[in-house]
Structure 1
Amino acid sequence: MRLATFNLLHGRSLSDGTVHADRVRSTVADLDADVLGLQEVDRAQPRSGGLDLTVLCAQALRAPAHRFAAAVVGTPGQTWRPWHADADIAHPQYGIALVSRFPVLRWQITQLPGAPIRSPVLTQDEGLLLLRDEPRVLLAAVLDTPSGVMSVGTTHLSFVPGWNVRQLRHAIRAMRALPGPRVLLGDLNMPAGPVRAFTGWRPLARAATFPSGSPRTQLDHVLADPRGRTDLGRVVQVRTPHPSVSDHRPLVVHLDR
């Protein structure tokens, strides 16, 4: 079984700043993941050509099960509002997604507490900005795999120190309500040491994932709940391939489960 997490940066290439479906499709297909957690995912956004990136990634992996969970309606960095209801589906959306080659027995979406303050963020184009933090969500699925039932979740936590810890603990509590073994995939916006210290969950991979060109830190994680960890099997390979899109590297963990 291959588990992967990938912050897509809405499919944008750093080489020319554009989004092309073929680049996204090729990058995701190369991961060959059975379960893929995605962050910074666009749906019907003009900046990404109106693509449904969740569907595109599912097609690339030939995965029949997939779900997108919107965090905001509108475009981050421009005009947006928190997502509230399915009525917002007619507008551009942005959030996270989970793609699975295995059947899904149940989906669960959990709203995570958002940071109420603006925080300084160093951007590539405009320098230091005071940015309003976006709402955050946890998307989880109970999967029917050939080795039995397991639960996998994905999330993209706040860049605001302290608030991301609060969100992570909230996500762990929500995951613990689902059947084990349990795995959390995502861009947690904090390095491996604090992640393990604040959760007690075990990292299945230690590898730098950001920035993609020359990774220096691990922001992207594959975590296993120690309760039932042995049922996941042994890690036989870890990959962080250089993508043709995004400023993060995907993190792929191959288990012998």
Structure 2
Amino acid sequence: MRLATFNILHGRSPADDAVDLDRYAAAVRVLDADVVALQEVDRDQPRSHGADLTAVAAEAMGAVDHRFAATLAGTPDVWTAATGELQPRTAAYGIALLSRHPVRAWRAIPLPRLDRAVPVSFPNQPHPVLVEDEPRVALAAVVETPEGVLTVVGTHLTFIPAWNARQLVRLVRAVADEPRPAVLMGDLNLLPPHPERLSRWRPLAAAPTFPTGDPVEQLDHVLADGPVHATSAAALDLGLSDHRALVVDVALG
């Protein structure tokens, strides 16, 4: 079966700075994945034509089960934290997990968040900048695949150094009792070998994913615990987002 993780930048392409829903759906079809983890996903946002980007992706890939978890509610000019209800009945932004195979159980896992602004250094910035992070969440699905049960966890960790490491450690502990084998995938905002060292899960793919055109960093990862291994892996430029999609073919057992 094929797994994929993709930070979609709400479907926007760096080529023309526009969101084209047909282009976005075509990109999801190119992935041809059985389970897809998406990050930076819009729902009912004007900047993405008011579309439910999770539903668009589900139709494009032929998903039979999918789930969206909001991290922010409202529109970009008036964001508020989507605390508590992870699918608020308003415009929202967050992550999604989609599957062509039936999902036996779903679980949303809020991750620890810094409650204050902190200084962060960015490339091409002469001095650190005070930033306040958005809430972060993970989605776990127990998927009934033709090869057996597979737990898939999708997430998007903070870019704040050290705090993303704390979130990853907390997430791994939170899914310790989920069925094995298991995979964890998403934009972890961590460079190798930190995801493997912090989680003690095995990396299934090694390929730079950021930035799209000439990637030099691997921020996106697929990690495994238990009897699952990769048969091939690739980072794909799909003509949208500032990240490449990471695709891994896996076998269970």
Measure, in 2, the Cα distance between the counterparts of 1:197 and 1:209.
20
Deviation readout 1:73-125 (Å, 9 max, x if unpaired): 0245x32111135597332100000000010000000110012232446499x
Task: Report the aligned-residue RMSD.
Answer: 1.9
2:105 counterpart residue number: 106
Q: Which runs of 5+ in 2 are unaligned?
A: none
- 1:80 aligned onto 2:75: no
Measure, in 1, the Cα distance between the counterparts of 2:100 and 2:231.
20
Cα distance, 1:199 vs structure 2: 1.1
Give the aligned length.
249
Matches within 5 A, 1:6-155: 6-76=6-76, 78-86=77-85, 89-118=88-117, 119-120=119-120, 122=122, 130-155=130-155
2:214 counterpart residue number: 214
- Letter paired with 1:2: R
8 Å CA contact 1:115, 1:160 repeated in 2: no
Matches within 5 A, 1:166-245: 166-225=166-225, 228=226, 230=227, 232=228, 234-245=229-240
Deviation readout 1:8-35 (Å, 9 max, x if unpaired): 1000111111111011001111000000
Measure, in 1, the Cα distance between the counterparts of 2:50 and 2:58.
16
Measure, in 2, the Cα distance between the counterparts of 1:88 and 1:109.
10
8 Å CA contact 2:75, 2:91 repeated in 1: yes
Q: TM-score, normalised by structure 1?
A: 0.91
- When residues 88 and 156 of structure 1 are mapped into structure 2, their CA distance, relative to the original with a 3 A threshold, is closer
Instruction: Indicate the SS of the match to 1:176.
Output: coil
Q: TM-score, normalised by structure 2?
A: 0.93
